[in-house]
Each structure stands twice: as C-alpha cells, then as structure tokens.
C-alpha cells in the first residue's frame, strides 16, 4: 500500500537547475553544464533514469526558447521524459527595473503581459497543462510606487492571462516574501496569491515555494489551509536556513519537509492535482547529483509521512493526549525508510542506490568532455 503510493509519485525537475547558478557575488562555473535546452533535457532524463520518479521537466521562457517546441517535446519523449510546467520570466530585461505587469509605465506592462500570453502559446505547442507565474515585481523604497495601484495592475494582467487559458490548462501563482524587491513585493505571501486566485476562478491556484516565507512561518499550516480551500496547486521545493537560499530540498530541515508531506497526504493533495516541482540552485554542488539527491529527499519524506499510523494519531488527538499524538508522528519520522525505498527501486529494475549508480554511469565524464565550447547555460542564458 505504502509502496503503491510511492510508485505513483511524480516529481518535476526544472531545466534551469542543470545550468550554472550563483549569488549576486559570483556564479561559479561547473564542467559539463548544458549549452541549450536539448542538453538540459538530456540531463533531466538522467535524474529520471536513476530515480524512476522524475518523468517531467519544467521549462523557463525565454531561457528555454527554441525554434520548434514540438521538436523539443519529441526530443524529451525520446529521452523518456515529458515537458512539465511552463515558467514565465518577466524579470531579466532592463525594461523591468521597476516592475513588469505592475510597472508604472503601461508600455512595459503590455510587454510583460505579451510575454505571459506567449507562454500560453508555448503550453499549447508543448502540451503543457501548467503555467507557473512568479513576479519579482515590487519596490525598494517607501513611496517609490503606489502599493494599491500595483495590485490593480497585477489583477488586470492576471485576468488577461486567465482568459487566455484553454481547456485543461491552469495557472499557478507563486508568492515570495522579498528579493529582488526589498521593500514591497507585490505578491509577498500566500494570502495575496490566494485572494487573486479566488477572484480568477477554478483554473488559478497557489504554488508554495518552500523558501519564500518569513522566519517562523508554519508552512504545513498553509498547505493544510490551501488544500481545505481547494487552492493548492503545487510546490516549488527547496530548502533554506536564512532567506531564499535555494538549497537542496530536505537539506536544511528534513523534519519540516516530512510535516509538509504529511499535510499534503492528510489533506488529499497526494495526486496529480498538486504538482511536486523542484526549484533550487546548485551553486557549489554538481547539478545532476544535486537533483537526484533532492528527488530522493522528497521521496524519503513522503515514505515517512505515508507510514504515520493515522488511526492511532486520530485516537490520541481525540483524547487530548499531547505526548501520545506527537509520539505517533515521531515514530514514523524516526523510521529509517532507506531500506524500503531501496527495495522499491529494485522491484522496478532500478539500482537501489541512485547516487552511486549515477556516479558509476560515466555520464558526467561524458558531458564534461563533450560540452566544451559554446556558452554554458546559466540563469538568464
């Protein structure tokens, strides 16, 4: 039963995780990094090949712009993976210095909206069902712009995009406390994203990036609440000790990840309607193993969450047995699920140890040798 559920898990990796990334201080180059969207898909296919649960890849436009999306989708399928969510980008053009869809200048807003609509075109071309919208829009100084008018402008753009969505397509709205805006961010918290999505309708849902909250925020509460409202669309998984550190998911607080997965399952969110996506930056660790490890971390947290004895938990909760109820949860968390997951992999023909298997595969040596010359893909490339 637990194994059946684990077999169905589906974690999407992002194309941009395979390129170089960094902080504002330095982007460290790595060997073998892909030079175009096709090579990114090849790398993503490796993650799926060794974990068995990462069958789709998210694209980022314009970073992954190609002449023929149909061709790109065919390439993906030939590698055993599919195209996942389309991510818009309205933050890397000089025009967007003061915002994109919330910019004070209507011409810039129009340009940004056109890009969002283009992303829906790409969804049509690739068959992608999901548009993920993150806006870096905001201001750095009090008074810089009108907080409320920016909401009006945002609502206008969202409505236009929503109207453009076709059958079976949806938009996910992401929120983030701060960065790159340092005073006001136009979609800073789940409440703002929720209110906009509610206005838009059923095809609009909130996406929770686990690194986008203020210190102390209880993320699993948000998950439980959004599921209750039917408004949780998915996750951008990563982890953080400080701000939006974008470390590997589960690396900073594995107990939190477990609690989040527990609420997903308890709230009926373990299924295709809630997308599990990774979104992190491997600034210093190698890219492909970084993704493999992250997929495994989500899987381990899921396995533990599935092991919670829900009947015993409910009984202890009903009786107000604080220590007993907590102990039921902790019993599952303290279980070492690695043998179970090794077994699961072996049963589906995979190596029980994906990290070691990838290392032995020679793939890294191959790409490090082949991918010489050309511009290595990075944020913005």
Q: Which of positions 236-255 make contact with a second copy (CB under 8 A)?
A: 240-243, 245, 247-248, 251-255
Q: Which two tokens stand for residue 380?
A: 């913005």
The beta-strand segments (E) located in 140-196 are 170-174, 184-185
Q: Is 19 in the site for a second copy (CB under 8 A)?
A: no
Q: Is 6 in the site for a second copy (CB under 8 A)?
A: no
Cβ–Cβ under 8 Å, residues 158 and 196: yes
Among 67, 141, 362, 375, binds a second copy (CB under 8 A): 141
Distance separating alpha carbons of residues 10 and 4, to the nearest angstrom: 13
Among 64, 209, 236, 300, binds a second copy (CB under 8 A): 300
Q: Is 25 in the site for a second copy (CB under 8 A)?
A: yes
Where residue 313 falls (left for φ over 0; alpha for ψ -120 to 50; beta otherwise) is alpha
Residues 160-179 that bind a second copy (CB under 8 A): 177-179
- The pairing of beta strand 138-139 with beta strand 11-14: unpaired
Q: Is 68 in the site for a second copy (CB under 8 A)?
A: no
Among 16, 63, 96, 162, binds a second copy (CB under 8 A): 96
Looking at beta carbons only, is 159 or 245 nearer to a second copy?
245
Looking at beta carbons only, is 168 or 191 nearer to a second copy?
191
Cβ–Cβ under 8 Å, residues 18 and 377: yes
Among 105, 114, 202, 343, binds a second copy (CB under 8 A): 105
Looking at beta carbons only, is 121 or 146 nearer to a second copy?
146
Distance separating alpha carbons of residues 186 and 182, to the nearest angstrom: 11
Among 127, 166, 168, 180, binds a second copy (CB under 8 A): 180
Q: Is 31 in the site for a second copy (CB under 8 A)?
A: no
Nearest-approach distance from CB 18 to a second copy, in angstroms: 15
Looking at beta carbons only, is 164 or 174 nearer to a second copy?
174
Distances (CA, A) of 267 to 201, 221, 316: 21, 11, 19
Looking at beta carbons only, is 83 or 301 nearer to a second copy?
301
Nearest-approach distance from CB 220 to a second copy, in angstroms: 7
The 3-state secondary structure of 270-299 reads CCCCCEEEECCCCCCCCHHHHHHHHHHHHH
Q: Is 228 in the site for a second copy (CB under 8 A)?
A: yes
Q: Is 361 in the site for a second copy (CB under 8 A)?
A: no
Q: Is 28 in the site for a second copy (CB under 8 A)?
A: yes
Distance separating alpha carbons of residues 31 and 372, to the nearest angstrom: 8
Nearest-approach distance from CB 165 to a second copy, in angstroms: 24
**Residue of 225, 230, 348, 237 lying closest to 301 (CA atoms):** 237
**Residue of 84, 105, 109 lying closest to 15 (CA atoms):** 84
Nearest-approach distance from CB 68 to a second copy, in angstroms: 28
Nearest-approach distance from CB 79 to a second copy, in angstroms: 24
Distances (CA, A) of 40 to 20, 37, 287: 11, 5, 11
Nearest-approach distance from CB 67 to a second copy, in angstroms: 26
Binding mask 305-344 for a second copy (x = CB under 8 A): --------xx-xxxxx-xx-xxxxxx--xxxx-x------
- The pairing of beta strand 170-174 with beta strand 130-133: parallel
Cβ–Cβ under 8 Å, residues 181 and 215: no
Distance separating alpha carbons of residues 42 and 57, to the nearest angstrom: 10
Q: Which two tokens stand for residue 144?
A: 């810089």
Nearest-approach distance from CB 112 to a second copy, in angstroms: 14
Q: Is 375 in the site for a second copy (CB under 8 A)?
A: no
3-state secondary structure of 131: strand
3-state secondary structure of 106: helix
Among 213, 301, 341, 363, binds a second copy (CB under 8 A): 213
Q: Which two tokens stand for residue 300?
A: 């381990």
Find the part of the chain contacting a second copy (CB under 8 A) among 66-74, 75-83, 111-119, 215-223.
215-223
Beta bridge partners of 374: none
Find the part of the chain contacting a second copy (CB under 8 A) among 7-15, 156-164, 190-198, 270-278.
190-198
């Amino acid at each position: 039963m637990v194994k059946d559920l684990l077999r169905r898990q589906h974690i999407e990796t992002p194309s941009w995780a395979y390129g170089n990334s960094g902080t504002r201080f330095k982007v460290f180059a790595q060997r073998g990094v892909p030079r175009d969207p096709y090579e990114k898909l090849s790398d993503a296919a490796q993650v799926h090949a060794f974990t068995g649960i990462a069958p789709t890849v998210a694209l980022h436009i314009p970073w992954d712009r190609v002449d023929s999306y149909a061709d790109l989708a065919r390439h993906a399928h030939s590698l055993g993976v599919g195209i996942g969510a389309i991510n818009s980008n309205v933050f890397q053009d000089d025009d967007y210095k003061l915002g994109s869809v919330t910019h004070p200048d209507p011409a810039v807003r129009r340009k940004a909206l056109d890009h969002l609509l283009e992303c829906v075109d790409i969804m049509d071309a690739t068959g992608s069902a999901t548009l993920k919208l993150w806006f870096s829009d905001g201001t750095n100084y009090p008074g810089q712009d009108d907080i409320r008018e920016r909401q009006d402008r945002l609502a206008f753009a969202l409505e236009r995009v929503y109207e453009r969505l076709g059958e079976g397509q949806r938009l996910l709205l992401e929120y983030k406390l701060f960065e790159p805006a340092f005073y006001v961010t136009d979609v800073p918290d789940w409440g703002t994203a929720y209110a906009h999505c509610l206005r838009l309708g059923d095809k609009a849902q909130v996406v929770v990036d686990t690194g986008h909250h203020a210190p102390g925020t209880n993320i699993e509460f948000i998950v439980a609440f959004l599921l209750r409202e039917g408004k949780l669309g998915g996750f951008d998984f990563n982890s953080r000790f400080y701000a939006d550190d974008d470390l590997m998911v589960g690396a900073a607080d594995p107990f939190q990840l477990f609690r989040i997965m527990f609420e997903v399952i308890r709230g009926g969110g373990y299924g295709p309607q809630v997308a599990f996506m990774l979104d992190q930056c491997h600034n210093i660790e190698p890219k492909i193993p970084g993704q493999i490890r992250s997929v495994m971390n989500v899987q381990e947290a899921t396995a533990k969450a599935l092991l919670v004895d829900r009947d015993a938990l409910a009984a202890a909760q009903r009786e107000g047995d604080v220590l007993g109820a907590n102990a039921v949860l902790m019993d599952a968390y303290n279980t070492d699920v690695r043998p179970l997951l090794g077994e699961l992999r072996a049963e589906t023909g995979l190596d029980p140890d994906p990290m070691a298997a990838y290392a032995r595969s020679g793939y890294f040596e191959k790409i490090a040798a082949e991918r010489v010359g050309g511009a290595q893909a990075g944020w913005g490339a």
